[in-house]
Structure 1
C-alpha cells in the first residue's frame, strides 16, 4: 500500500513539473512568435510565478503596457533579490517611463554590486543626464575606461565636448570609436559637425558625404551639405542637396529660400538666366509661406531682381521689405540706390536721398548719402546753366 502511495505522489509531482515546464515552453514560444497576450496567459499558468514575472514584464513592454510591466518587474525583483539582470531591466524601464529618480536609485545599487560593469555606469549616466546631474559625464567616462569600444558612451562624451567646442577632445574620442566601428553613423555625424564648427568645410563635406554613402539620407545631412557647399562656392552641389532637402520637406519655407539663394549665387557666378528664374521662383514661394518679418528675405529677392536689371520689380520688393521693418536703414538705403539707377528724373533722385537723410540722420550710410546728394544737386545746377 505504501508503495502505491509513494508512486502516486511521484506521478503527481512529475505531472506538476511537466505542466510547469509546458506552460513555460508555451509562453516562450508564443512570445517569440509575437503573440504577447497569449504568452502572458501561458506564463500565468506557471505555478512558480517568481520564475516568470520578468517574462510577463517583457511581454507587457512589447504590448506597450508599461504600468503592468513595471508591476511585474517589481514582483520579479522582490522574488529574486540577488538577480542583477532583473534589476537592470527594471531600472531601464523606470528610465523609459521617466521615473528618473527611482531609476537612478536602482542603477546606483547595481554599480555598488558590480562596479566593473560598463553598462551600469552608462545607463546611470543616461538617467543622471535627464536629472541634469553634474556627474553625468563621470559615468560615461567610467563606462569608456572600463570598455574603450563602448560606442554609446563615446558618443555621449564626444557630443558633450562638441557642445563645449572642445574640438581636439571630440576628434580624439571619435577616432577611438571609429577604430572599433568604422561605420558608426552617430560618430561620423559628430565628426562632420566638429569640422563644420572649426570652419574646415572641405573635411566637413567629406564626412557628411560619408553619411550619404551609408544611406543616412536625412534632412539634417542634406541641409548641412547644401549650406557647406555654398560656403565653398560649389553651387552646383549646393543646389543638388538643396533639391534633395526640399524633396524631404516640400513645405519648408526655409528650405525653399535656401535653395533660391543657392541658385542666386550660381546665377551671379555664371550669369545664367535659368538660375535667376529659379532663384526668383523659390524665394517668392518661401516668402508667401513664411509667417514672420520678411525684410531680410525681400532684400535678397530684390538683389536677384537687380542683378537681372529688373529695377522696377526690385524697387517694389524693397518697398514691401520696408513695410515689414521700417527701421532697417540698410533696406531703405538699397531702395535709394535703386531709385537712383532706375529714375531718369534728377529731382526724383534728389528727393529719395533727402528722405533717407531725414529718416536716418545717424546712419552709417549718412556720409555717402550726403555726398551723392551734393553731386546730384550739382548735376541739376549744371543742367540749368546749360
Structure 2
C-alpha cells in the first residue's frame, strides 16, 4: 500500500513538474523571452504538444529554418489539427515556400470545402505560382462569403488588369456595400475611373482616400494628372508637390511641375523647376532642354535659350526641331540680317532632306526681303 501511494505521488509530482515547465515556457514566450522559452519547451516530455510553440518561438527570433522543421513535426504528429495546418500554410506563404503551401491549402480545402478563407489563401499561393486557377479560388471564397473583402479585392483587381471595367464596378460596389471605407477597393474604384478617362469621378475617389488618411506618391501623382486633364493646373501643381514629399529628388515630377507653370504663363517658375529637373535627370535631355528654351523665349531671355538649345543639340544632334528652334531663336536674338539668314542656312546644310525645308526657305525669303527693304530705307 505504501509503495502504491509512493508511485501515485511520484506520478502526480512528475505531472505537476511538467505542467510547471509548460507554464514557465508559455510565460517566457508571452514576455518575449523566446530563446529561453525554446529551452523550456524542449524539456517538456510530450513534444507533439509543443512543436508548434517551438516553431513560433524560432520564427519570433528570425530562425525560419528551425521554425519550418518544428512546424513540419507539429503537422506530422497532429495530422487532424486543421487550425495547425492553416497556420503552417500561412507561414509557408510568408516564407515563399509556395509549392509546399499549395499542398497544405489544397488539403484544407478538401477537408473543409465550405471554409471561404481556405479558398482565399490557396488563391494567394496559386497567384505566386502563376497558376491561372487562382481566380477560381477567389471566386469560390466570394461565393461562400459575399462579404469577403479580400477575395472581392483580388477579383476586382484581376478584372481591372484585364480591362473589364464594368465587372470591376460590380465587385467593388458589392464590397463597399458592406464596408464603405475599404481603402483598397476605393483605390481600385479611383483607378477604374482614371483608366476610363472619367477624371472628375476619379478625383472624387482619390480624394476619398486622402480623407481616410491615405497619402502616397501614387495617389498625389494620379490626382495631379486628373487635374491636368481638366486644365486645373494650380491643383495639379499642388498635388505634384505633395507627391514630391515622398521623393524630393524625383526629376520627372519636378520637370512636370515646370511644364504646368508654363501652362499657367508663370515662365519664371517654369524656368526654375525645369532647371532643377535638368540638374537631376540622367538620360538624353534634348526634349527637356527644348522645353526650357521655349520658356526662356517667352521671357525674351534669348541668350539663355540659345545655350539651352545648343545643349539639346549636343544631347541629340539628329533632333531637327531643336536645330530649327535654335535658328528661330537666333533670328530673334541677332540684329544683323545676315546673321539671321545664316542661322537658317546652317539648318539647311545640316538637314538638306528635312521636311521642314519649305518652312526654312520661306523664312529665308522673308528675311532677305526685309533686309532689302531696310537697306532701301537707309539709302532714302
TM-score, normalised relative to structure 2: 0.92
- Given the alignment of the two structures, is residue 203 of structure 1 paired with residue 229 of structure 2, yes or no? no
Match of 2:271 among 280, 302, 323: 280
Q: Please report how far the alpha carbon of residue 333 of structure 1 lies from its aligned counterpart in structure 2 after TM superposition.
A: 2.4
Extract unaligned runs of 5+ from structure 2.
Answer: none
Q: Number of residues paired by the alignment?
A: 377
* 1:214 counterpart residue number: 212
In 1, Cα distance between equivalents of 2:61 and 2:98: 22
Extract unaligned runs of 5+ from structure 1.
Answer: 269-274
Q: Please report how far the alpha carbon of residue 122 of structure 1 lies from its aligned counterpart in structure 2 after TM superposition.
A: 1.4
- Given the alignment of the two structures, is residue 359 of structure 1 paired with residue 347 of structure 2, yes or no? no
Q: CA 1:164–1:348 in structure 2 vs 1: closer, same or farther (change >3 Å)?
A: farther
Question: Residues 152-192 of structure 1, C-alpha deviation per residue, up to 9 Å, x if partnerless?
Answer: 22222222222222211111111111122222211111111
- Name which of structure 1's ranges 32-41 and 303-312 shifts more when overlaid on structure 2: 32-41
* 1:153 counterpart residue number: 151
In 1, Cα distance between equivalents of 2:164 and 2:367: 55
* 1:271 counterpart residue number: none
Q: Please report how far the alpha carbon of residue 202 of structure 1 lies from its aligned counterpart in structure 2 after TM superposition.
A: 1.3
Question: Residues 101-140 of structure 1, C-alpha deviation per residue, up to 9 Å, x if partnerless?
Answer: 2221222222211222222221111121111112121122
* 1:144 counterpart residue number: 142
Match of 1:250 among 230, 248, 251: 248
Match of 2:320 among 329, 345, 359: 329
Match of 2:70 among 58, 69, 72: 72
* 1:272 counterpart residue number: none
Q: CA 1:193–1:106 in structure 2 vs 1: closer, same or farther (change >3 Å)?
A: same
Match of 2:49 among 48, 51, 64: 51
TM-score, normalised relative to structure 1: 0.91
Match of 2:172 among 171, 174, 182: 174
In 1, Cα distance between equivalents of 2:367 and 2:267: 32
In 2, Cα distance between equivalents of 1:120 and 1:364: 65
Give the secondary-structure state (helix, strand or coil) at the position aligned to 1:52.
helix
Q: Please report how far the alpha carbon of residue 368 of structure 1 lies from its aligned counterpart in structure 2 after TM superposition.
A: 2.6
- Name which of structure 1's ranges 24-33 and 292-301 shifts more when overlaid on structure 2: 24-33
- Name which of structure 1's ranges 69-78 and 355-364 shifts more when overlaid on structure 2: 355-364
In 1, Cα distance between equivalents of 2:36 and 2:177: 45
* 1:372 counterpart residue number: 363
In 1, Cα distance between equivalents of 2:90 and 2:355: 60
Q: Please report how far the alpha carbon of residue 381 of structure 1 lies from its aligned counterpart in structure 2 after TM superposition.
A: 4.0
Q: Please report how far the alpha carbon of residue 301 of structure 1 lies from its aligned counterpart in structure 2 after TM superposition.
A: 1.4
The alignment yields a C-alpha RMSD, in angstroms, of 2.0
Correspondences of 1:1-386 after superposition (within 5 Å): 1=1, 4-266=2-264, 268=265, 275-384=266-375
Give the secondary-structure state (helix, strand or coil) at the position aligned to 2:163.
coil
Give the secondary-structure state (helix, strand or coil) at the position aligned to 2:45.
coil
In 1, Cα distance between equivalents of 2:355 and 2:26: 77
Q: Please report how far the alpha carbon of residue 362 of structure 1 lies from its aligned counterpart in structure 2 after TM superposition.
A: 4.7
- Name which of structure 1's ranges 68-77 and 13-22 shifts more when overlaid on structure 2: 13-22
Q: Please report how far the alpha carbon of residue 282 of structure 1 lies from its aligned counterpart in structure 2 after TM superposition.
A: 2.1
Q: Please report how far the alpha carbon of residue 51 of structure 1 lies from its aligned counterpart in structure 2 after TM superposition.
A: 1.0
In 2, Cα distance between equivalents of 1:166 and 1:95: 29
